[in-house]
Amino acid sequence: MDEERGPSAVKHADVGKNGGHDGHDHGGGESPGWKSHWALLLSLAVLVAMLTLEYGFGYVPSAPLGLAIYGAAYLLAGYKVLDLAFRKAMRLDFFNEFFLMSVATLGAFAIGSYSEGVAVMVFYSIGEWFQDAAVNRAKRSIKALLDIRPDEVSVIRNGTAMVVDPKEVQIGETIQMKSGEKVALDGELLSEKASFNTAALTGESKPDTKAKGEKVYAGMINLNTVAEVQVTSLFRDSKLSRILEMVQDATARKSQTQLFISRFAKVYTPIVFFLALAVCAVPYFIIDDYDFNVWFYRALVFLVISCPCALVVSIPLGYFGGIGLASRNGILFKGSNFLDVMTRVNAVVMDKTGTLTHGVFKVQQVVAHGLEEQELISLTAAIETQSTHPIAKAIAEFAGAQTLQVSKIEQVEEISGHGLKGMIDGKQVLAGNTKLLKKFNIPYPLEIEGIVNTIVVVAVNGQYAGYITIADEIKEDAAQAIREMHALNIQTVMLSGDKQTVVDEVATKLGIDTAFGNLLPEDKVAKVQALKDQGRHIAFVGDGVNDAPVVALADAGIAMGGLGSDATIETADVVIQNDQPSKIVSAIKVGKITRSIVWQNIILAMTVKVIVLALGAGGVATLWEAVIADVGVALLAILNAVRIQRMKV
């Protein structure tokens, strides 16, 4: 690992940690402006002035004067590169770009090609400057996207709002946000209602209105009123802190392509160094009119163009850009290796509840028998208010303003596995499944046994009174997500613990290829294993907690709604923060975009280098062409990698 950056003299350990650049330093983070590069710019000005005098006015300085002027310009542009090359050589590390550039440029001076020696060092350093800027921009874009935690927060202590550092706030304390202020810590809303901009966390700019008691997370922006939140997590444990840490750590998990390029560079650099020696030495034994200066010059060209800079910088930068693009769309990759994994996925296996459906039960149909529909709703909702079951809550919420006023609810009894029994305004009410009515010998129409959705059957005073069907709502973009997967030739499979009739209905509505219901966790593992045995590359999408065995088995585990679950963030390889199934396709597209640009850079760099290496060995290319080709390819590759961050998926 390099200790410092050559032209920028910035420690690369920071880039390696946060940018994943494999020891090829491109820092420049401390002072990226032109003022920090005054020596390089002065060297460039001297080079331009001397070339203008030579080619514009025919003035060629004497050898001593030319050496002095060009030598000064050379040191201004390359003293940091020379320093690093020397220190690495002292550690017997000769096969690095600094040593290659130092040998090539000093060699040019040795044979009297002063202007070319300076030009190589100047343009190499300018290329490094732009590369540093590209890396820092990528790092800043990620950090700015997520590290939006406020530096101060208003906490209410002894009835007074005090401004303190968020790190000093304890669990259970109450914080206050004015309109336009960011939430500093996770907590529960104490105010009756408040709207928040959640774009920094979910990638969605539309307001999210929260009611009293609902979860609020650090990074949200309070939109329209003063809001109070009771803190439930310390500053370091907030979802935003965990997400920021996860994205930073992701850049250290390298893809197979990155690992290959790292290994390739370690082998490639010494090979081309010895090939350069061969270009200079071998002709001595096979050519009669051997001229050392001619072949030494060709060897220098070979060294300059051989620098692997374009590859070892642009490839990690491409993956970094892919992670940034995903983050801005509310998708968190736990490593660039998972960007590669997503490009190979040809089967997406999904859980139903919470993935394709909202996981919130809603009343679908009310059918009354022998009494008014409104009365059926009123009586059922009244008895269901005595239960905490999600279905009971769905009925009570649905009733709302329709509920008739009931004055007396008494003798409510929950019959396990059946439902509820109670007295409502003097009427005996039973609400539950068909087994409840059978238990009390109350006849009911047999056709309701075939109803697909969850059903609550009601009896009043010993007589069948009707039923209410309950179903989990399908997410708005679920059908679109399935269509887009099919357009990418991806097989879709749904696995669920729900009854098969419910699973089949959802699968039919969405157009899912295969759906299995009544599954236990071990059954889901068996289904996924069967797909893997068919040679499928699988992404499993679920909650990441209950389905942990399946997530572990799949090539990529994707968690939906990870913002609300610590365990989900820990378990999954990819986290979709805004709970939208369509983001599954976005994750696959980000992976494909990243892979495409990375391979564009690899092909571009290798093609140009092979051509110029051949031309240099044949005496056609000069040091000018070599340095322009090297710097030009590196800049093109980096600009191409940076382009990822502006794309849309």
Point out the residues that are catalytic: 351
Distance CA 20, CA 316 (A): 6
Say if residues 524 and 550 touch (Cβ distance below 8 Å): yes
Given CA atoms 82, 84, 87, 90 in this order, what sign does their dihedral have? Answer: negative
Distance CA 120, CA 37 (A): 17
Distance CA 516, CA 349 (A): 11
For residue 138, give the nearest of 338, 314, 336, 332 by alpha carbon: 314
DSSP 521: H
DSSP string, 14-72: HHHHHH--TT------S--SGGGGHHHHHHHHHHHHHHHHHHHS-----HHHHHHHHHH
Q: What angle is formed at CA 43 by the lines to CA 40 and CA 44, rounded to 5 degrees?
A: 90
Distance CA 486, CA 510 (A): 11
Give backbone dihedrals phi and psi of 424, rounded to 5 degrees, phi first.
-120, 110
DSSP string, 543-579: -SSTTHHHHHHSSEEEEETGGG-HHHHHH-SEEETT-
Burial of 613: CB neighbours in 10 Å, binned 0-12, 13-18, 19+: buried
DSSP string, 476-508: TTHHHHHHHHHHTT-EEEEE-SS-HHHHHHHHH
For residue 332, give the nearest of 640, 570, 17 by alpha carbon: 570
Say if residues 444 and 434 touch (Cβ distance below 8 Å): yes
Helices then strands, each counted (H, E), the chain: 22, 22
Count of Cβ atoms closer than 10 Å to residue 185 Cβ: 30
Say if residues 305 and 616 touch (Cβ distance below 8 Å): yes
Say if residues 633 and 608 touch (Cβ distance below 8 Å): yes
- Number of residues that make up the chain: 649
Count of Cβ atoms closer than 10 Å to residue 84 Cβ: 24
- The tally of CA atoms less than 13 A away on the side-chain side of residue 408 is 7
Distance CA 129, CA 40 (A): 10
Given CA atoms 516, 520, 524, 529 in this order, what sign does their dihedral have? Answer: negative
